[in-house]
Each structure stands twice: as structure tokens, then as C-alpha cells.
């Protein structure tokens, strides 16, 4: 148990520059409280105590602002920054060493049965307000930029941006470490295409003017 608490403290200190002490992290951080409550709720859920599982999860939701369904599977060293407004669905799965910001939804599309929610790989960052909707996988070492809406699978070592989200590269290199928490220095592919169209139209207009 002590090793687990130590890992949690180290993970938060590595990813949250505002984290000052182990005591503050363990006692006051809503993400830590939400995940610890979820461990209890998930145990009850797996052992058929569905009402007790929901009771624990709903009490945690009211206390932390983070809603995690008891059926969701969460790996080790998950860091939830701020956390308010996070929703994690019943069949969602989250790998190890992930970082999730406030306002994130790991949800379904409303038409699936069985596995309805996404599977998040290891070492994944999901930015503020992002929505990941559907029973697909977000690959290891990937990033979902703030306010993106992800509706299809994201391959490993990639960054997804936009509505709907599309995979883009950052400085021509892969994203290898979730500690790189910059959510804004990424190119919006839609804006890039619109800029290219404007340039092309400008060139056409200039050529037409030259003909006259």
C-alpha cells in the first residue's frame, strides 16, 4: 500500500507544478480521492455488489466533481489534474501513467451495446474539455489536444487535434512522454487547410489580374 501511495505522489509531483507536498496531494487532491474511491467501487462492482458500487461512485462524484462508473478499469499512476466535470463510462479502460485534465469525457455514442466506451493506452495525455466517444483505442504515448472530439481510433505515438479530431505531427517528431503537457502548441489541420485554400485563391486572383 505504501509503495502505491508513493507512486501516486511521485506521479502528481512529476506532472503538476503546483503540487507541493505528499500530504497535500493525498488529502486534498480530488483526482486522488476519486481514483481511490473508484478502486473500492470497482471491487464491489466486480463482486456483484452493484448497488454498493454505485453508492460509492455517486458519493465520490458529489465530493469531487469527477464521475467514474464503477465498471470502468483504471491502471496505475493515473493523474487527474483539477478533475471537475470528468466523466468516465462503464466500459472505459485507462492504461498506466495517463494524465487527464478537467472536463474530459470518455463516453459512448449512444448506439453501441456491450463495449461502448474507449480504451486509453499507456502514457496518454487527454487535454482539457476533450471528448473521446466510442469503443475504439487511443494508442500508447498519444496526446489528445484540448477541446478535441475524438470519434475514431488514434494510433500510438500521435497527437489528435480538432473537431472531429484528426491526427497531426508535432515538430515532425513523435510524442514519447506524457510529461510534455503543452496543449496549445499544436497545429489545427482545418485552419492549415483553410490557410492553404486562401493562398491558392490569392495566387489565382493575382494571375487573373495579370491577364487583364
Find the mean pLDDT for residues 169-185. Answer: 53
Instruction: Tell me what percent of the residues of the chain surpass a pLDDT of 70.
Output: 87
In this prediction, residue 181 carries a pLDDT of 52
Q: Is 134 helix (H, G, I), strand (E, B) or coil?
A: coil
Supply 178's cell numbers.
506524457
Supply 100's cell numbers.
487527464
The CB-side HSE value for 136 (13 A sphere, CA atoms) comes to: 14
CATH superfamily of 2-211: Hexapeptide repeat proteins (2.160.10.10)
Q: Which of 8, 14, 179, 6 is closest to 77 using CA atoms? A: 8
CB 125 within 8 A of CB 99: yes
In 122-199, the DSSP E strands lie at: 125-126, 131-133, 137-138, 143-144, 149-150, 159-161, 166-168
In this structure, the chain runs to a length of: 212
Helical H runs in the chain? Answer: 2-15, 22-28, 30-46, 50-64, 189-211
Q: pLDDT grade, residue 35 (50/70/90)?
A: very high
The domain limits of the chain are: 2-211
- Contacts of residue 117, defined as CB under 8 A and 6 or more positions apart, other chains included, come to 72, 88, 89, 90, 91, 92, 93, 106, 107, 108, 134, 135
Angle at CA of residue 44, ends 104 and 36, nearest 5°: 45
Between residues 35 and 210, which one has the greater pLDDT?
A: 35
Q: Is 155 helix (H, G, I), strand (E, B) or coil?
A: coil
In this prediction, residue 175 carries a pLDDT of 47
Q: How far is CA 199 from CA 50, 74, 86, 87, 164, in A?
A: 59, 47, 40, 41, 24
Q: Is the pLDDT of residue 178 over 70?
A: no
What average pLDDT does the chain have? 87
Q: pLDDT digits over 104-140, tens only?
A: 999 998 777 789 999 999 999 999 999 999 999 999 9
The residue behind cell 456491450 is 114
In this prediction, residue 184 carries a pLDDT of 55
Between residues 179 and 209, which one has the greater pLDDT?
A: 209
In this prediction, residue 188 carries a pLDDT of 60
Q: pLDDT digits over 52-105, tens only?
A: 999 999 999 999 999 999 999 999 999 999 889 999 999 999 999 999 999 999
Q: Which of 151, 170, 171 is closest to 162 using CA atoms? A: 151
Q: Is the pLDDT of residue 180 over 60?
A: no
Cα 80 to Cα 30: distance, rounded to the nearest angstrom: 8
CB 101 within 8 A of CB 128: yes
Amino acid at each position: 500500500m505504501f509503495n502505491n501511495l508513493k507512486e501516486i505522489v511521485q506521479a502528481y509531483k512529476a506532472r503538476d507544478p503546483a503540487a507541493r507536498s505528499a500530504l497535500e496531494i493525498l488529502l486534498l487532491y480530488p483526482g486522488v480521492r476519486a481514483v481511490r474511491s473508484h478502486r473500492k467501487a470497482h471491487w464491489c462492482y466486480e463482486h456483484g455488489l452493484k448497488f454498493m458500487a454505485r453508492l460509492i461512485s455517486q458519493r465520490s462524484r458529489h465530493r469531487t466533481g469527477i464521475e467514474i462508473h464503477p465498471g470502468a478499469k483504471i491502471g496505475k499512476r493515473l493523474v487527474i489534474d483539477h478533475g471537475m466535470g470528468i466523466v468516465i463510462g462503464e466500459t472505459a479502460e485507462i492504461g498506466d501513467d495517463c494524465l487527464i485534465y478537467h472536463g474530459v469525457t470518455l463516453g459512448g455514442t449512444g448506439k453501441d451495446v456491450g463495449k461502448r466506451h474507449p480504451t486509453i493506452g499507456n502514457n496518454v495525455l487527454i487535454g482539457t474539455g476533450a471528448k473521446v466517444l466510442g469503443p475504439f483505442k487511443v494508442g500508447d504515448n498519444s496526446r489528445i489536444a484540448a477541446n478535441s472530439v475524438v470519434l475514431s481510433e488514434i494510433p500510438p505515438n500521435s497527437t489528435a487535434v480538432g473537431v472531429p479530431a484528426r491526427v497531426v505531427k508535432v515538430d515532425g517528431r513523435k510524442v514519447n512522454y506524457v510529461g510534455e503537457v503543452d496543449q496549445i502548441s499544436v497545429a489545427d489541420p482545418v485552419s492549415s487547410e483553410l490557410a492553404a485554400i486562401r493562398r491558392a485563391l490569392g495566387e489565382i486572383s493575382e494571375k487573373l489580374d495579370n491577364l487583364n
